[in-house]
Amino acid sequence: MSAAGAPILEVMPPPEPAPTDVPPASAGPELDAESREWLRSLRAEGAVYHSAVGRLHALLLRAAHFEVSRRRPMLPHLRGNELDDIALEAADDALMSVLAHLDDFRGLSRFTTWVYKFALLEAAVKLRRRAWQGREVPLEPTGWDVFASGAAEPDAEAEQQELLGAVRRSIEEALTPHQRRVLVALVLNGVPIDVLAERLGTTRGALYKTLHDARRKLRQHLAEAGLSPGSPSQEER
């Protein structure tokens, strides 16, 4: 589908089933035995509950350490004990989230996969923020050089430059100041969305909606100019 022919893209839930329409686990698919046991023990009292919480925390901590290990090369200035502290804090926060949202588990995945995502999210967000701690968030373009390619053929290079010029004009002409700042910071300057959300006092979801709308406007503006570049999903998958 070309950008010109694309329907208006809204950030919206998939048609079926809408997440809010999904029935609770008790009315949903049959849970696997391990997931059932997790739910039973986490809804118990006394020693059974405390033992389950301890095992759950250990799982979450393992997931958080996994995320820390993956991102460690991007945080060379942090010492091992600092990374351990971040993993522990992520596991603690994930445990609170899991216990608070236990009734939201729909049984559409294994319980362990469901809880891992909380720990991985907490660890990833903390590590992104830590990596940018004390750094100024650039809101003006600093990354146009990524569009320059000395390896391209002359005709392709000229075409690329023409397109780039049109994109830059579209960013100036078609976007609101807020859309421009968000697009530039997130996409051109590589500021992590969680970092920008924290600095602007908003949420990841709200910022992505702004980015989505800005991208849609850009594609429409370019299409009106007779240009319709491909999409990442078409080119990279």
Which residues of the chain form contacts with another protein (CB under 8 A)?
1-3, 6-7, 9-15, 19, 63, 66-67, 70, 108-110, 112-114, 116-117, 120-121, 124, 128, 142-143, 146-149, 152, 160, 163-164, 167, 183, 186-190, 192-194, 204-205, 208-209, 211-212, 215-216, 218-219, 222, 229-237
Nearer to another protein, 47 or 151 (CB): 151
Nearer to another protein, 50 or 72 (CB): 72
| Shortest reach from residue 103's CB to another protein, in Å | 14
8 Å CB contact between 149 and 160: yes
| Shortest reach from residue 194's CB to another protein, in Å | 6
What are the contacts of 224-227 at 24+ separation with CB within 8 A? Answer: 224/4, 225/166, 225/170, 227/163, 227/166
Nearer to another protein, 15 or 154 (CB): 15
Nearer to another protein, 91 or 121 (CB): 121
Nearer to another protein, 47 or 146 (CB): 146
8 Å CB contact between 81 and 1: no
DSSP at 229: -
| Shortest reach from residue 71's CB to another protein, in Å | 9
Quick one: 10 exposed, middle or buried, by C-beta within 10 A (0-12, 13-18, 19+)? exposed
| Shortest reach from residue 46's CB to another protein, in Å | 28
**Bond into 24 cis (ω within 30):** no
d(CA 162, CA 164): 5
| Shortest reach from residue 34's CB to another protein, in Å | 12
| Shortest reach from residue 47's CB to another protein, in Å | 26
d(CA 237, CA 235): 6
Nearer to another protein, 41 or 66 (CB): 66
What value does the CA radius of gyration of the chain take, rounded to a whole number of Å? 23
